[in-house]
Amino acid sequence: MPINVQQRIGALPARLWVAMEAKKIIRDAVTHVTLMRQVAADKPELARAIAEIKNFQAKRFAGSYSDLLQSDLYREAALFFLEELYSDKDYSERDTQFARIAGALERIFPEQVVQTAVSLAQLHRSTEELDRAMAEEWMANAHLPEVTRYVLAWRRVGGRAERNRQLTTVMNIGNELGRLTRTPGLRRMLRMMRGPAKLAGMGALQKFLETGFDTFAEMGHAVDGVKHFLDTVKAREATLIDQLFDANAVTCETKIRQLLGQTQ
Domain assignment present for residue 3? The answer is no
pLDDT > 90 fraction of the chain, expressed in percent and rounded: 48
11-25, 142-156, 183-197: least confident range:
11-25
Q: What pLDDT, on the 0 to 100 scale, is given for residue 183?
A: 80
Domain assignment present for residue 92? The answer is yes
Residue 91 C-alpha from the chain's centroid = 11
- Give me the count of residues in the chain: 264
Q: What pLDDT, on the 0 to 100 scale, is given for residue 27?
A: 81
Q: What pLDDT, on the 0 to 100 scale, is given for residue 150?
A: 97
Q: What pLDDT, on the 0 to 100 scale, is given for residue 102?
A: 61
Residue 71 has pLDDT above 60, yes or no: yes
Q: Is 163 exposed, middle or buried (0-12, 13-18, 19+ CB in 10 A)?
A: buried
Domain assignment present for residue 2? The answer is no
| Confidence class for position 12, pLDDT limits 50, 70, 90 | very low
Domain assignment present for residue 6? The answer is no
The pLDDT tens digits of the residues spanning 91-100 come to 666 666 666 6
Q: What pLDDT, on the 0 to 100 scale, is given for residue 2?
A: 36
Domain assignment present for residue 54? The answer is yes
Domain assignment present for residue 4? The answer is no
CA distance 215 to 64: 20
Give, as one character, the DSSP assignment of residue 13: -
pLDDT > 70 fraction of the chain, expressed in percent and rounded: 82
The pLDDT tens digits of the residues spanning 223-242 come to 899 999 999 999 999 999 99
Domain assignment present for residue 236? The answer is yes
CA distance 141 to 139: 5
Mean pLDDT of the region 241-251: 95
Q: What pLDDT, on the 0 to 100 scale, is given for residue 120?
A: 84
Q: What pLDDT, on the 0 to 100 scale, is given for residue 223?
A: 84
What does each C-alpha distance from 46 to 37, 43, 59, 149, 225 come to in angstroms?
10, 5, 20, 15, 40
Q: Is 49 left (phi over 0), alpha (psi -120 to 50) or beta?
A: alpha
| Confidence class for position 146, pLDDT limits 50, 70, 90 | very high
Q: What pLDDT, on the 0 to 100 scale, is given for residue 203?
A: 73
Domain assignment present for residue 127? The answer is yes
Q: What pLDDT, on the 0 to 100 scale, is given for residue 112?
A: 66
Q: Which domain holds residue 86?
A: 11-261
Q: What pLDDT, on the 0 to 100 scale, is given for residue 129?
A: 92
Q: Is 74 left (phi over 0), alpha (psi -120 to 50) or beta?
A: alpha
Q: What pLDDT, on the 0 to 100 scale, is given for residue 8?
A: 36
Q: What pLDDT, on the 0 to 100 scale, is given for residue 231?
A: 97
Query: Is residue 9 helix, strand or coil?
Result: helix
Count the domains in the chain: 1
CA distance 22 to 28: 10
